Amino acid sequence: MKHANSKIDYNDKVISIRDLKKAFDDYEVLRGVDLDLYRGENLVVLGRSGTGKSVLIKIISGLLKQDEGQVNVLGQNVNNLSARDLDKLRLKIGFSFQNSALYDSMTVQENLEFPLVRNSRDLSRKEIDRLVDMVLDAVGLSQTKDQMPSELSGGQRKRIGIARTLILKPDIMLYDEPTAGLDPITCIEINNLINEVQQRYNTSSIIITHDLTCARATGDRIVMLLDGQFQRQGTFEEVFNTDDERVKSFYNYNFID
């Protein structure tokens, strides 16, 4: 279980969402979601598949547009931003995709360089190499620099995906199912890495998952998405200390204590 985090600043909201609604055709995925993420906090969003967890972080990063509601990230309304301002904001948001989304045709080094050289064009070769080495070291994969993504294991791909976001030194990390499809040992390693990133880079994170071990290990606060709205929130114990059958069944089917 995660130890209490004293670095959280409850006076500083890095993400603030109000009455967020999103539908795909006739299916309403998010039905009025309210959410605050505080500086330094790891917030876990739990929920079953197809409940709109990934949609939520895609809206936060500007990949999807909401139908209604307000999304403020680092004090800026995501919807009102021009393309250039949205790109500037995105430099402060790291997005770790469920399938890592590494560029297949590039080596690990090229994958890591990709966002860096395009957003800091005045960097020297030496400086780029130094930053690449630094993030590879942070995720413990210095030896994979010249490998292709297809040569990496699932856990290594996840780590490189996280390293690629860290290279831009983001304020906020968004993790989409960070432990999905991994073996239990690798899951623990990824959970530890998420906590290390929080400590080392002082990030605030939203972790989307349906893995309760991950939620318990990484979350300072947990919210549960049910029927398109956040129904429960608090610490792991507070969320699952309930008579709500939907929450209890989620616990029983997913977690062996």
Partner 1 sequence: MGDQQKGADYTKTNKYVLSRRLDRVFFELYRIYTFITRFFKEVFMPPYEFKEIINQFYEVGARSLPLISLTGFIIGIVFTNQSRPSLSEFGATAWLPSLMSIAIVRALAPLVTAIIAAGRVGSNIGAELGSMKVTEQIDAMEVSATNPFKFLVVTRVLATTLMIPSLMMYTVFVALLGSYVNVNQHEQTSFVTFFVQVFDAISFLDVFSSVIKSFIFGFTIGMVGCYKGYHSSKGTEGVGKAANSSVVTAMFLIFIEELLSLQVINAIRAL
Using CB under 8 A, which of the segments 97-105, 132-140, 196-204, 211-219 binds partner 1?
97-105
Query: What length is written for the chain?
Result: 257
Contact pick of 16, 70, 109, 119 for partner 1 (by CB under 8 A): 119
Instruction: Note whether 227 and 32 are within 8 A (CB).
Output: no
Q: Give the residue with the Cβ less far from partner 1, 105 or 143.
A: 105
By CB under 8 A, is residue 102 in contact with partner 1?
yes
Q: How many of the chain's residues bind partner 1 (CB under 8 A)? A: 26
DSSP string, the chain: -PPP-TT-EEEEEEEEEEEEEEEETTEEEEEEEEEEEEET-EEEEE--TTSSHHHHHHHHTTSS--SEEEEEETTEEGGG--HHHHHHHHTTEEEE-TTTT--TTS-HHHHHHHHHHHH-TT--HHHHHHHHHHHHHHTT-GGGTT--GGGS-HHHHHHHHHHHHHTT--SEEEEESTTTT--HHHHHHHHHHHHHHHHHH--EEEEEES-HHHHHHH-SEEEEEETTEEEEEESHHHHHSS--HHHHHHHHHH---
Using CB under 8 A, which of the segments 32-40, 95-103, 182-190, 231-239 binds partner 1?
95-103
Using CB under 8 A, which of the segments 115-123, 200-208, 218-226, 230-238 binds partner 1?
115-123
By CB under 8 A, is residue 90 in contact with partner 1?
yes
Site for partner 1 in 16-75 (CB under 8 A): 58, 61-63
Contact pick of 97, 175, 230, 240 for partner 1 (by CB under 8 A): 97
Contact pick of 158, 164, 221, 232 for partner 1 (by CB under 8 A): 164
Q: Give the residue with the Cβ less far from partner 1, 60 or 212.
A: 60
By CB under 8 A, is residue 95 in contact with partner 1?
yes
Q: Give the residue with the Cβ less far from partner 1, 26 or 257.
A: 26
Q: Give the residue with the Cβ less far from partner 1, 8 or 128.
A: 128
For the four alpha carbons of 72, 73, 78 and 80, in that order, the dihedral sign comes to positive
By CB under 8 A, is residue 240 in contact with partner 1?
no
**In the complex, least distance from residue 169 CB atom to partner 1, rounded to whole angstroms:** 12
Question: What are the CA-CA distances from residue 160 to residues 42, 84, 124, 142 (Å)?
Answer: 20, 27, 22, 10
Q: Give the residue with the Cβ less far from partner 1, 20 or 89.
A: 89
Contact pick of 168, 171, 234, 235 for partner 1 (by CB under 8 A): 168
Q: Which residues bind partner 1 (CB under 8 A)?
A: 58, 61-63, 87-88, 90-91, 93, 95, 97-99, 101-105, 114-115, 118-119, 121, 164-165, 168
